[in-house]
Amino acid sequence: MRDRHRAVRPLLLPLLAAAALGCSRESPPGAKEVQARRSIVASPVASTSPPPAGSSATVAPDAGVDAAPSAADEGAPLAIFAVQGNIYAAPIGAKEGRIGYVRRGGKVQALRAPVKGKGCDDGWYKLIPYGYVCARVATFDLDDPQVRAGLRDPSLDDLLPYKYGHNLTHGTPLYRVVPSVEEMAELEPYLKLPRRERDTTASVETPRKKGKKRRRGAATDADAGTPEKSLERPEPLPVTEQADAGAPLPRPEAPAPSPDAGALDAGVVDLADAGADAGEDESQKPWWQRKYAAGEKPDIKLDDLLADANKTLAKRMVKGFYVAIDRSFTQNGRLWHRTTSGLIAPADRLGIVAPPKFHGVEIDEAHAAMSAVFVTSKSITLYEWDEAKKQLKPAGGAARYDRFFSTGKTREASGRTFRELEDGKLVRASDVAWTEPGPRPAAVKDGERWIDVNLARQTLVAFEGSRPIFATLVSTGRKGKDKAHDHTTPTGAWRVREKHVAATMDGDGAAAGDLPYSIEDVPYVMYFHESYALHGAFWHDSFGRQMSHGCINLAPGDAKRLFFWSDPQPPKGWFGMYSSAELPGSLVVVHD
């Protein structure tokens, strides 16, 4: 059975439309309903209405979406305090009119005077440049406790919208609230707790490697309670050096062994070895405390991670899971991360992700007729053709991800094919990937923005009409040895259906023995067909190779660049936006 991307069970964001949509041949939860009720353009090209050239930021009043207010109506910041504030095209709370949403704590510009409408007795706030939000879920009081308890705004000026934590060990708990020392002793038996009486004023000493110092504090259980209350005490602390990660990260599809302990050590011990006594029956232990033979994996599903949940513990994580960090703080002598799902993770069980720095190349008019070339081997030799000797001679070198432009000419030498670069040098074709987009679709108008993805080359080219403006490497779906493990990205042409600044993706393994995976708040997601999407990938640095469950992985900077360039373009403050007949998405063409 095709593995699914199922809804995560967050504490803070259970209704978030973006939650747990992923890459597979199944539609994401609610996708069919959304398509039916909103005339979303997600069908083949022939049935779509092309978007206006350039941008979808301005829409005529009779197009079903409000016209932008005049320049004099600057409005004021309006904060959302509900889990999610839906945005509608008109002051009518009908599902078919929903065009976007804002997360709890998010802020948008709006006119202060509410207007009357249907579906919201408190009236509707008119947003700038367009849309309406029910006054019942929003306030102009930015100091409202419900607003302060919401998520921080995503860091749109940075490479990633959030910091991400990589779970290093099986069984790491995600708490609903900060646990007392007594609760930690019960739920995390591997912790090194004080020998004195385990009262609620004791601090925790986490296990450590020799020479590593642990952060300790004097916070008491009196400071515990809801995450919102505890987080208002100190200013959020920076992540400690011990928790910083710079080592290569494993793929979420098949979590690899934990990265090098020297790079990620935060006093972590392997949970598989925790509390193991000689002669003890391993089968009687919880899955996360058992010892496993080389190559052996726990036989678990996502639902099994909820087995020992209670009022304090929400669930446990599998090694290789990722969480998005909203903020960090200290309490009960320990450093904690609050995730964007509203749960609390112990920082000493996580490494902080260092995202890949690769990015694509902008294409100017001088290079519009050339192919962009990306080095995919670790290091390569460049050559020149010695006409007198009729042979190649070395002419320098290049490293992986170096970028060039090619004339498109090739030369056969020494039984191999070489591609000519714009300066006349030659590069072995097997060492590089080059762009080879298909023809401009007939449905695309002059100046219209669209995206070409070449599965054979693992490249992407962004166009405005017939002119290429940007090119990069991608990682598409991996082919498998059997149907269950075949995640090949489908070919076809569709328009972007919906966009999310971030969306959680998780799922059980495709077959028995495969571990589940979970990546919280995958950045810059653009769904174009069923649950297939273009999105940023921070968990691997293998662009130019098949890596995914079917989605099109982009380096974070490239995903961000395409997210804010393509249509529909979410106004400032919106966390997600849905395309429609009035605001259609950019065309995405996927071909071999």
Q: For residue range 374-406, what is the model confidence (pLDDT) as tens digits? A: 999 999 999 999 999 999 999 999 999 999 999
Same domain, 252 and 314: yes
Q: How many Cα atoms within 13 Å fall on the side-chain side of residue 457?
A: 24
pLDDT at position 203: 52
Cβ neighbours of residue 515 under 8 Å, at least 6 residues apart?
254, 255, 297, 298, 300, 318, 320, 509
Distance between CA 339 and CA 322 in Å, rounded?
A: 10
State whether the Cα torsion 26-29-34-37 is positive or negative.
positive
Amino acid (1-letter code) at residue 314: A
Q: CA dist 456 to 198, 404, 421, 477, Å?
A: 60, 19, 21, 11
Residue 1 lies in a domain: no
Same domain, 73 and 136: yes
Residue 10 lies in a domain: no
Q: For residue range 274-312, what is the model confidence (pLDDT) as tens digits? A: 444 445 677 788 999 988 888 888 999 999 999 999 999
Distance between CA 174 and CA 506 in Å, rounded?
A: 16
Lowest average pLDDT, out of 40-54, 128-142, 187-201, 451-465, goes to 40-54
Residue 3 lies in a domain: no
Same domain, 228 and 340: yes
Indicate which CATH number applies to the domain containing 366: 2.30.30
Name the average pLDDT for the chain.
80
97, 115, 148: which is the final residue of a domain?
148
Question: In 3-state terms, what secondary structure has residue 475?
Answer: strand
Same domain, 319 and 209: yes
Residue 405 lies in a domain: yes
pLDDT at position 70: 55
- Reference 578, options 23, 40, 195; nearest CA is 40
**Residue 68: pLDDT band by 50, 70, 90 thresholds?**
low
- Reference 167, options 62, 250, 282, 48; nearest CA is 250
State yes or no: cis peptide before 129, omega within 30 of 0. yes
Q: Which domain holds residue 504?
A: 31-47+439-591
Same domain, 235 and 348: yes
Query: 403 forms bridges with which residues in the sheet?
Result: 374
Residue 552 has pLDDT above 90, yes or no: yes
Question: What string of DSSP letters covers 55-87?
Answer: --S---GGGTSPPPPPTT---EEEEE-SSEEEE
Same domain, 409 and 470: no
Same domain, 559 and 519: yes
Same domain, 463 and 557: yes
Q: For residue range 438-457, what is the model confidence (pLDDT) as tens digits? A: 999 999 999 999 999 999 99
Residue 578 lies in a domain: yes
Angle at 93 between CA 90 and CA 94, to 5 degrees: 95
Same domain, 395 and 443: no
pTM recorded for the entire structure: 0.79
State whether the Cα torsion 50-54-60-65 is positive or negative.
positive
122, 148, 174: which is the final residue of a domain?
148
pLDDT at position 511: 75
Question: In 3-state terms, what secondary structure has residue 430?
Answer: helix
DSSP 8-state assignment for residue 94 = -
Same domain, 181 and 304: yes
Residue 497 lies in a domain: yes
Alpha helices in 137-180 (DSSP H): 145-148
Beta-carbon count within 10 A of 479 CB: 11
Indicate which CATH number applies to the domain containing 567: 2.40.440.10
Same domain, 310 and 410: no
pLDDT at position 87: 97
Residue 276 lies in a domain: yes
Which tokens sit at 382?
């460049």
Which tokens sit at 445?
């108008």
Structural domain count, the chain: 4
**Residue 270: pLDDT band by 50, 70, 90 thresholds?**
very low
Same domain, 144 and 225: no
pLDDT at position 484: 83
CB 106 within 8 A of CB 133: no
State whether the Cα torsion 173-102-31-437 is positive or negative.
negative
Residue 17 lies in a domain: no
329, 352, 375: which is the final residue of a domain?
352
